[in-house]
Structures are given as C-alpha cells and as structure tokens.
Structure 1
Amino acid sequence: MTPKEKYLLQQRLNCALLRVEMIADIASELKVDSAMTLSQAQAGCMLRICKLEGKGCRRLREIGLCEEMQICKLSNGRNMLCSMCGTKLAVSRKLGEQVMVEVA
C-alpha cells in the first residue's frame, strides 16, 4: 500500500469514527427526551421506571416498585397490565400518569 493510499484510508477511518461519535451523541440526547408516563407507553414495550411521583406512588413503592426497575407493559385500557419480576400487576390509568418511564 502506498503512503497516499494509507493516508486516504486513515482519513476515511477518521470520518467514520466522527460519524459514529455524532450518532452516539444524538442517541443519548434522544434518550434524555424519551421519558413518558406509563399510560403513554405502548403495550408490549420493555420499560425502565425513571420516577415515581404522586400520591398513589407511595403504595407502589410499598409493594416493591422503584426507580431503575424494568417492567413490561402487557396491555392498555382502563387498567394497564404490567409484568415485573415474574409478577403481573394491574395499574389504573390515573396511577400510570404518575409513573415516568423510558424504553429499556
């Protein structure tokens, strides 16, 4: 390989690495903005709890829900069915509005 070819190859690699870094930065920014309520999340999604905030959340904490816990929202409706740690739990829409989640 000639020195010129090596130089051009190095420049292409540098550009590719820069693109990867830019994509990673954009992805991390999108993740920060991707928080939603449990009620807003689609059924079938694996979610991570970001924040439990509100009157009803005290009871959720007592039964074991906490920040950083992963849950799966199984169904939508007046009551949402969620699965966590091998247990299914029905959560009302009103209570689901107090649980902030992000896609896991």
Structure 2
Amino acid sequence: MSAAHAPSQTAQRAVTLNQVALNCDVRIRSLSGPACDRLRDLGFCEQMQLRKLSNGRNLVCTLCGAKMAISRELAEQVLVDPVR
C-alpha cells in the first residue's frame, strides 16, 4: 500500500461522537457545525481525548477528568478518531 492512500484511510475512520460505542476512548479530530464555538467553550477541542459513557437523549462523556453531558445535536458536530 502506498503512502498516498494513507490520508484517505485516516479520513474514513473519523466518525461523529454519536456513532461511537459506549466506553470507547476517542480523540477529537475536528469540530464541524454551527456550535463549534459553544463546544470549545465547554472544553471540546481538537486533539482532546474523551470517553463516551452513555447514549441516551443526552450523551455523557468524560473529558479532562470531568463528566460532561451534551445534546445529540452537539455530539453530531464532534468528529473523532479511535485511540489506540
């Protein structure tokens, strides 16, 4: 496999926070949508690591040692990659 294919494979791995399974550790790749500033105010920044704890009406995750609850609409604007 050539190095030219690696970026496209990496791009395919990014999913929204809504799509992540429970208790998975992920790293924020980017914030995309109208609420980016609000998410950054809450501590959701690129390269931050988090763990998704619940998947109900509001999504609960740990970020920097704190539990945070955000709406599913906000979680849809957080693109993440799995942590290895």
Which category describes the TM-score, using the shorter chain as reference length?
Answer: 0.7 to 0.9
- The structure with the largest strand share of the pair is 2
Q: For 2:52 and 2:37, locate their aligned partners in 1 and report how far apart those are by CA, in whole Å.
A: 20
1:59-78 aligned at under 5 Å gives the runs 59-78=38-57
| SS, match of residue 54 in structure 1 | coil
Which residue of 2 is the match for residue 82 of structure 1? 61
Q: Which structure carries more helix by proportion? A: 1
What TM-score do the two structures reach when normalised by structure 1?
0.68
Question: Identical aligned pairs, as a percentage?
Answer: 49
Residues 39 and 74 of structure 2 are in contact (CA less than 8 Å); yes or no, is this contact kept in structure 1? Answer: no
- Give the unaligned 5+ runs of structure 2: none
Larger Rg: 1
Task: List aligned pairs for 1:47-66, cutoff 5 A.
Answer: 47-66=26-45
* Structure 1 segments unaligned to the other structure (5+ residues): 1-21
Once residues 69 and 46 of structure 1 are traced to their aligned partners in structure 2, the CA distance between those partners, rounded to angstroms, is: 11
What SS class does the counterpart of residue 61 from structure 2 fall into? strand
Q: Count matched residues.
A: 82
Q: Higher relative contact order at CA 8 Å, sep ≥6: structure 1 or structure 2?
A: 2
What TM-score, normalized by structure 2, do the two folds share?
0.83
